[in-house]
């Protein structure tokens, strides 16, 4: 499997640049294979921005970073029509969303109009400006970051947009050993910058490789019992009273059918990255938190009792029988 070897090299390359964040690196590759978008939440300085920059360097295609701010306008990300005095016509100038990989940095700082423009791009893979619809590049992946510490001047993402993110990944601090390796890597890269040394990526994944890998992911064998398990997890979030009255009191709204599809694709991608030709229950469990945590809405009672969506997902995993 040539594509699997290429992705193994890609994972090693990105892991060598993003130290102490193995889960983030894995989820980036899962999102790439599952053809979805990623919402990454974590404190400043945890390599959220760097991760997608490093990934984009090793993938055929272009990359653009957009810093979201309260004064951002939809045209700043979609593009706008520019009047050409010579011809007397308007010419469309493409915005940042016409790149293969887009980093929406601090996405919750932009107002609702910008969020709606981004929503169309994420959901429909197209942009409409002045009544004309433009198709976006393929592959197209948005990685958005959120800072959970600062809430001043931020806008909560609408549930419809959150549902468009394939996964919601939370990033924590690295341990002492990883921190030491980060320090040494930073020194080495600073020295390269001083000496004007340009280090080329060791691997370059082509668009054809990505397309073929996605095909292999969708062809992985999934037993009927595993598919039923996946479905029961989602259904349990919608009808928790069938499993536990306490769980039912903590959930206001369960996961949507989009969660079912995301869970299926992410579990497949996870199994493929592990080198298996089948999907097991552990693959479903491995990605369940990232797929469901932004799709299960807690009730007032659940929030008042201090429950988190991750704790609710833990209960779901404990209550639904594993095949």
Give pLDDT tens digits for 8-31.
Answer: 888 888 888 888 888 899 999 999
Q: Is the pLDDT of residue 49 over 70?
A: yes
Q: How high is the pLDDT of residue 152? A: 59
CB atoms near residue 55 (< 10 Å): 25
- Are 9 and 202 contacting, i.e. CB atoms less than 8 angstroms apart? yes
- Per-residue confidence at 56, pLDDT binned at 50, 70, 90? confident
- Are 36 and 265 contacting, i.e. CB atoms less than 8 angstroms apart? yes
Q: How high is the pLDDT of residue 266? A: 96
Q: Give CA angle at 229 (226, 233), nearest 5°.
A: 145
Q: How high is the pLDDT of residue 151? A: 62
For the chain, domains (ranges, CATH) are: 2-194 (3.40.50.300), 220-319 (1.10.8.80)
> For residues 323 and 304, what is the distance between their CA atoms, to the nearest angstrom?
34
Give pLDDT tens digits for 123-144.
Answer: 888 888 877 888 988 889 998 8
Q: How confident is the model over 291-304, as a mean pLDDT?
A: 89
Give pLDDT tens digits for 169-217.
Answer: 998 888 899 889 889 988 888 888 887 777 776 667 888 899 999 999 9
Give me the torsion for CA of 178, 180, 186, 187, rounded to 10°: -160
The mean predicted confidence, pLDDT, of the chain is 87
Q: What is the DSSP letter of 103?
A: E
**Helical ranges in 18-95 per DSSP H:** 22-34, 48-57, 74-78
- Per-residue confidence at 167, pLDDT binned at 50, 70, 90? very high
Q: Is the pLDDT of residue 32 over 80?
A: yes
Q: How high is the pLDDT of residue 61? A: 81
Q: Which of the pair, 282 or 93, is modelled with greater confidence?
A: 282
pTM attached to this predicted model: 0.89
Give pLDDT tens digits for 76-86.
Answer: 898 888 877 87
Q: How high is the pLDDT of residue 223? A: 94
Q: Is the pLDDT of residue 267 over 90?
A: yes
Q: Percentage of the chain with pLDDT > 90?
A: 31
Q: Is the pLDDT of residue 280 over 80?
A: yes
- Per-residue confidence at 2, pLDDT binned at 50, 70, 90? confident
Q: Is the pLDDT of residue 88 over 90?
A: no
Q: Is the pLDDT of residue 264 over 80?
A: yes
Q: How confident is the model over 268-280, as a mean pLDDT?
A: 94
Q: How high is the pLDDT of residue 119? A: 81
Q: Which of the pair, 33 or 154, is modelled with greater confidence?
A: 33
Closest alpha carbon to 45 in 21, 68, 64: 21
Instruction: Name residue, tokens 């469901």.
Output: 292
Whole-angstrom Cα Rg for the chain: 21
Give me the torsion for CA of 156, 66, 18, 293, rounded to 10°: 20
> For residues 119 and 138, what is the distance between their CA atoms, to the nearest angstrom?
17
Q: Which of the pair, 158 or 278, is modelled with greater confidence?
A: 278
> For residues 118 and 127, what is the distance between their CA atoms, to the nearest angstrom?
9
Q: How confident is the model over 311-319, as a mean pLDDT?
A: 92
């Amino acid at each position: 499997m040539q594509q699997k070897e290429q992705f193994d090299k890609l994972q090693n390359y990105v892991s060598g640049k993003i130290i102490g964040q193995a889960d983030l690196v894995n989820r980036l590759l899962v999102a790439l294979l599952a053809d979805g978008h990623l919402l990454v939440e974590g404190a400043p300085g945890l390599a959220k921005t760097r991760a997608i920059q490093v990934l984009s360097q090793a993938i055929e295609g272009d990359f653009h970073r957009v810093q979201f701010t309260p004064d951002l306008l939809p045209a700043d990300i979609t593009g706008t029509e520019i009047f050409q005095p010579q011809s007397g016509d308007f010419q469309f100038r493409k915005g940042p969303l016409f790149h293969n990989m887009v980093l929406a940095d601090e996405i919750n700082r932009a107002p609702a109009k910008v969020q709606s423009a981004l929503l169309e791009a994420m959901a429909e893979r197209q942009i409409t400006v002045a009544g004309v619809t433009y198709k976006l590049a393929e592959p197209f992946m948005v990685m958005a970051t959120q800072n959970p510490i600062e809430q001043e001047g931020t806008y909560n993402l609408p549930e419809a947009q959150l549902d468009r993110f394939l996964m919601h990944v939370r990033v924590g601090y690295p341990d002492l050993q990883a921190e030491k390796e980060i320090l040494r890597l930073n020194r080495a890269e600073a020295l390269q910058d001083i000496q004007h040394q340009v280090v080329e990526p060791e691997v370059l994944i082509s668009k054809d490789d990505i397309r073929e890998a996605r095909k292999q992911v969708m062809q992985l064998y999934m037993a009927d019992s595993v598919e039923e398990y996946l479905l029961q997890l989602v259904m349990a979030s919608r009808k928790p009273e069938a499993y536990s009255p306490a769980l039912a009191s903590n959930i206001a709204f369960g996961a949507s059918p989009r969660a079912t599809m995301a869970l299926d694709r992410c579990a497949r991608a996870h199994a493929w990255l592990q080198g298996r030709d089948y999907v097991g229950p552990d693959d479903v469990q491995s990605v369940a938190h990232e797929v469901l945590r932004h799709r299960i809405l807690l009730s007032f009672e659940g929030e008042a009792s201090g429950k988190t969506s991750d704790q609710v997902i833990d209960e779901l995993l404990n209550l639904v029988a594993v095949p």
